[in-house]
Amino acid sequence: MSQQLGPFTADRIYRGDALELMRSIPSDVIDLIVTDPPFAINFKAKRLNYNREGSNVMEGYVEVPADEYAAFTYTWLKEAYRVLKKSGSLYVFSGWNRLQDILDGLDKAGFQTINHIIWKYQFGVFTQRKFVTSHYHILFVVKNPRAYTFNKMEHYPEDVWVINREYWKGKRKTPTKLPSDLVKKILLYSSNQGDLILDPYLGSGTVAAVSKELGRHFLGFEIVEEYYNFAADRIMATEQG
């Protein structure tokens, strides 16, 4: 029988605004949050970046206005802190553009930083007058620095991860998509089988699908209907670990 989390049931995803839905999650129930929130960089979902066919990239990406990003970030991080167990952890992705807002929001919400990870991928958007950005920041933070899950999977685990983006050539895709190998690495280090993983900004559903594959429970929210349907189909097709 699936765990009840207020109005939600574990191992399901829900369509709606994460800022509203997170308020209905009971306090101290989530083991790990992994999420890639909007970046407030005026991202164009149909733009032919990364050699993608625009016709295969789903529309509907919901951006946050730049002047509202700091308040938006603190609001959802405050809820993330509340719903996490006292031993819980959070991995949040950020581009360099809004990194300061993420860092400020984490501090203000009460999180303690464990690592500032760099994810180096294999390509970025072509530039004329500046260096090509080919990395994301991943902030690994906890509620209690003396009690959190960390399974040391390697003898010398470094904080720079070189993991290629996934090519989904000729397939439907969301405009931003985390590689499964990247999410697997996070889940193996910072969760155990049976733990409950939350992704409030689900996108293509990678976090939920990988959680299911690795024998973790999951909960996810997505505001865009087409992304939600895409993620639901993907999760359904994933075998339980």
240 three-state secondary structure: coil
pTM assigned to the model: 0.88
CB 46 within 8 A of CB 59: yes
Strands 30-35 and 84-94: parallel
Domain with 136, as residue range(s), is: 4-237
pLDDT value at residue 46: 45
Average pLDDT for 223-227: 93
pLDDT tens-digit profile of 107-152? 999 999 999 999 999 877 788 999 988 999 999 999 999 999 999 9
Task: Detail the DSSP E strand segments found in 4-44.
Answer: 4-5, 8-9, 12-15, 30-35
| CA–CA distance, 136 with 116 (Å, rounded to integer) | 10
Q: Is the dihedral of CA 39, 44, 46, 51 positive or negative?
A: negative
CB 37 within 8 A of CB 201: yes
Looking at 25-29, 68-72, 165-169, which range is the least confident one?
A: 165-169
| CA–CA distance, 64 with 53 (Å, rounded to integer) | 25
> Cα 117 to the chain's mean position, in Å?
14
pLDDT classification of 168: cutoffs 50, 70, 90: low
Domain count, the chain: 1
CB 81 within 8 A of CB 110: yes
pLDDT tens-digit profile of 7-61? 999 999 999 999 999 999 999 999 999 999 987 544 444 443 334 444 443 444 4
Domain of residue 222, CATH code: 3.40.50.150
